[in-house]
Amino acid sequence: MHKNLKVSISVGGKFHAFYLAKQLQDHNYLSQLITSYPVFEVEKSGISNDKVNSIIAKEIIARGYRKLPNFIKNKYNSQFYICNFYDRLAAKKLKESDIFVGWSSFSLHTLHKAKNFGALTVLERGSSHIQYQNDILMEEYEIHGIKTNPTHPQIVEKELEEYQIADYISTPSIFTKRSFVEKGFPPEKILHVPYGVDLKQFVKLPKEDNIFRVIHCGHVSIRKGCHYLLKSFFELNLPGAELWFVGNIEKEMTPFIEKYSHAKIRFFGALPQSELSWYYSQASVFVLFSIEEGLAMVQAQAMSCGLPVICSTNTGGEDLLEQGKSGFVVPIRDTYYLKEKILFLYENKNTCHDMGLYANMTIRSRFSWDDYGQNIIKQYKLILNEAKKDD
């Protein structure tokens, strides 16, 4: 029925857009991918270069800005201007299609252009509602006496406009969908499709020792709740246990790292995706105690490598794991429950191992990128059918 379905995508960066584009291309539904990445980088994801429109100027400007001295970056927040710069150029490159999928913060002008073409519009929002996100992060920084504004005010304003213009919002988790519904967004206009994981890349490798090891992958930051994980592990002081952090360390974490410094706590910095399976496989449990995000893909990666997951309610993890079978979902900021679950797995290593096996089975049976592709394409066809009925 939808042999000629054509979907255009615009993303100011990469995110999971290249996986989406590859799935659409494999089903002959991809019309166009507009991205700030160069064509040769996009080709590595298996996407045909004749489908790609590159706005590399955005990446050059953004990466150049990050190299500026901190006093300039602290004075001038470039977030809105870079997003808007990309968006205006993307709108000029957009071609006609049945469905336009644009990434939030990068799509206001492109959404208008798509609607002028008569396309059905879908806004990809990988995190919670922008107002919920901004409010809870501001609250967290205030708890710790840190003065900052996590989101440019004009980005908040722009995203709210995007929410109103888009026909649908696509979210990856129950948590993100809930945040939109709580803000008054119609639930029937929300698509809910969890992300996948590369099952060939993230595989369980032999564990090379018997150390009980907790691992966190991703930015080491306030948003990721790493200060609570540090505190919890430090206070547990488990004999023979280690805590590993893999990811870039934000400067805001320095006081916490100094306060909870311990030989059992190690920081490895950012590592290539190709190396992560080994690090996951040396651990016993994966912990992500974020204050806010949409559906952190590191959780599925860790589960694919045979780890149970302990995550906060605000990570999207409840879409991936079954409580008590493949991990535990615990309230944000609640270090009592976080410590309780870490201690339980430490004291019950056979149960910990079995939960890891169940986690692996869950991901491999339901959360590949092919699964994601089938689910999101099904959603696109459904909303297109609905639009045709209304016509």
DSSP letters, 313-347, are TTSSGGGT--BTTTEEEE-TT-HHHHHHHHHHHHH
Q: Within a 13 Å sphere around the CA of 120, how many CA atoms are in the beta-carbon half?
A: 21
Whether 70 has a pLDDT exceeding 80, the answer reads no
Q: 320 pLDDT exceeds 90?
A: yes
> Residue 315 above 50 pLDDT?
yes
Q: 390 Cβ partners below 8 Å, 6+ apart?
A: none
Domain(s) labelled CATH 3.40.50.2000 in the chain stretch across 7-196+369-390, 212-366
Mean pLDDT over the full length of the chain: 95
pLDDT at 63: 81
Q: Using CA atoms, how far apart are residues 308 and 302, in angstroms rounded to an integer?
A: 8
Give the pLDDT of residue 78.
85
Q: Is 220 within 8 Å of 294 (Cβ atoms)?
A: no
Confidence of residue 323 (pLDDT cuts 50, 70, 90): very high
pLDDT-derived band of residue 146, with 50, 70 and 90 as boundaries? Answer: very high
> pLDDT-derived band of residue 64, with 50, 70 and 90 as boundaries?
confident
- 330 pLDDT more than 80: yes
Residues 6 or more apart whose CB falls under 8 angstroms from that of 168 comprise 120, 121, 122, 123, 189, 190, 191, 383
Q: Please say if the pLDDT value at position 1 is more than 50.
A: no
pLDDT, one tens digit per residue, over 252-311 is 999 999 999 999 999 999 999 999 999 999 999 999 999 999 999 999 999 999 999 999
Query: Taking 80 as the threshold, does the pLDDT of residue 111 lie above it?
Result: yes
pLDDT digits (tens, 9 = 90+) for 218-265: 999 999 999 999 999 999 999 999 999 999 999 999 999 999 999 999
What pLDDT was estimated at residue 209? 97
Confidence of residue 3 (pLDDT cuts 50, 70, 90): low
Answer CATH for 212-366 from 3.40.50.2000, 3.30.1120.10, 2.60.40.10, 3.40.1280.10: 3.40.50.2000
Q: How far is CA 132 from CA 15, 160, 183, 294, in A?
A: 21, 12, 8, 12
pLDDT for residue 69: 73
Section 123-131 average pLDDT: 97
pLDDT top residue among 107 and 147: 107
In CATH, what is the architecture of 7-196+369-390? Answer: 3-Layer(aba) Sandwich (3.40)
CA dihedral 173, 81, 102, 151 (to 10 degrees): 10
